[in-house]
Amino acid sequence: MLLVGLRGEAEWTPEVSLRVQAVSGVLPSPDGALVVYAQTRHVVEAERSESVSQVWLAGAYGSSRRQLTFGEKSATAPSFGPDSKSVYFVSARGGGPNIWRMPVDGGEARPLLQWKGKIGHYAVSPDGKWVAFAGVLEDMDAARRAREKRDFRVVDANPRNHALWVAPLSGDAAAPRQITGNGRHVATFHWAPDSRRIAFEHWPAPGADEWVRSDLAEVEVGPAAVRDLVKTAGPESTPFYSPDGKYLAFVQTPEKARWPGVARVAVMDRGTGAVRLLATSEDERPLLLGWGGETLYFGEMRRTRSALYAVGLEGAPKLVYEPKRGTFFAGYNPNANLNATGT
């Protein structure tokens, strides 16, 4: 989605494109009353040339749009707390990447972590007591080389895996605790409804081609005990617990992955461990969004446009929404998301 003020422009030029402000990370609040998103503007000055994102908040029907974050540092990946009263986001405004929290009514944002390193995907637990994130501690040798102006590097050489970390949300910034090892790269993950476990997608390494070997595992937050959930010759990705915790949905390629790909939505019975594939989608490339009650929602290409579908545990997928003009992004990405309550 784009916010554009181009009235009167006769043609698309580089100058015009720099005035376009992209909107991403759109997410409704759990109570359905608000929407949070990141809006990006381009800064082109004599001594500065970069894109800066800030967090905005609006009513679910487009009313009362207002900017929440300000400053020279970007604020991205916004999300809500379970009670819809707080907004979370990632920013390096304190000197390095951190997860921040601020009230939806405005006020001072506070960092949640005592942390120096990189931060990937993050999520607040359903009970609001924990924040989990995929991350890796700062490479002290690399930091020292940067200070000494010896920071040349070979791109993609010796990439470091992101582990899964958790930190309590009880008060001041807390030191996070690592709950998975460094032997696998944590990509996406999802909290169980009881906030006691996390299902996560992991790759052998963070390289662009490693997704073809992704599998699913689960970790208990307390004892940090990890067990494999689904591990086949094909990749498994984007796990989502059902609201009652009885099932785990994910996307599975039933054969060894190829770039063109053929994928299905699959569901695992958490009581028995049995996995079954749901009905085949039209394009066989579903991008899972999550559960809405007993229904799963996913995005997929339909001819030349993206469309939104719903599928139950029984029956064929049904088309929910397809734009009559233009297109939209639907899938596990920063542009299309279900809220925490699946409404």
pLDDT by position in tens, the chain (length 343): 444 455 556 688 888 888 888 888 899 999 999 999 999 999 888 888 899 999 999 999 888 899 999 999 999 999 999 999 999 999 999 889 999 999 999 889 999 999 999 999 999 999 999 999 999 998 877 667 766 677 677 776 778 999 999 999 988 899 999 999 999 999 999 999 999 999 999 999 998 889 889 999 999 999 999 999 999 988 999 999 999 999 999 999 977 766 667 899 999 999 999 999 999 999 999 999 999 999 999 999 888 888 999 999 999 999 999 888 776 665 544 346 788 877 7
Measured CA distances, 181 to 18, 116, 192, 222, 230 (Å): 43, 18, 20, 15, 18
Strands (E), 107-242: 110-111, 117-124, 130-137, 163-168, 177-178, 185-191, 197-203, 215-220, 225-230, 236-241
**pLDDT given for residue 49 in this prediction:** 87
Measured CA distances, 280 to 239, 260, 263, 327, 336 (Å): 18, 16, 8, 23, 22
Q: How far apart are CA 35 and CA 29, in angstroms?
A: 6
**pLDDT given for residue 303 in this prediction:** 84
- Inter-residue contact 256 to 236 (CB < 8 Å): no
Q: How far apart are CA 186 and CA 167, in angstroms?
A: 17
**pLDDT given for residue 292 in this prediction:** 94
Beta-carbon contacts of 269 under 8 Å, excluding residues fewer than 6 positions away, are 246, 247, 275
**pLDDT given for residue 330 in this prediction:** 57
Q: How far apart are CA 74 and CA 94, in angstroms?
A: 11
- Inter-residue contact 310 to 292 (CB < 8 Å): yes
User: Among all chains, which residue has been given the structure tokens 């707390």?
Assistant: 81
**pLDDT given for residue 178 in this prediction:** 98
Side-chain-facing half-sphere of 113: CA atoms under 13 Å:
31
Q: Which pTM value belongs to this model?
A: 0.90
**pLDDT given for residue 333 in this prediction:** 46
Residue 110's identity, in one-letter code, is R
**pLDDT given for residue 114 in this prediction:** 95
- Inter-residue contact 249 to 240 (CB < 8 Å): yes
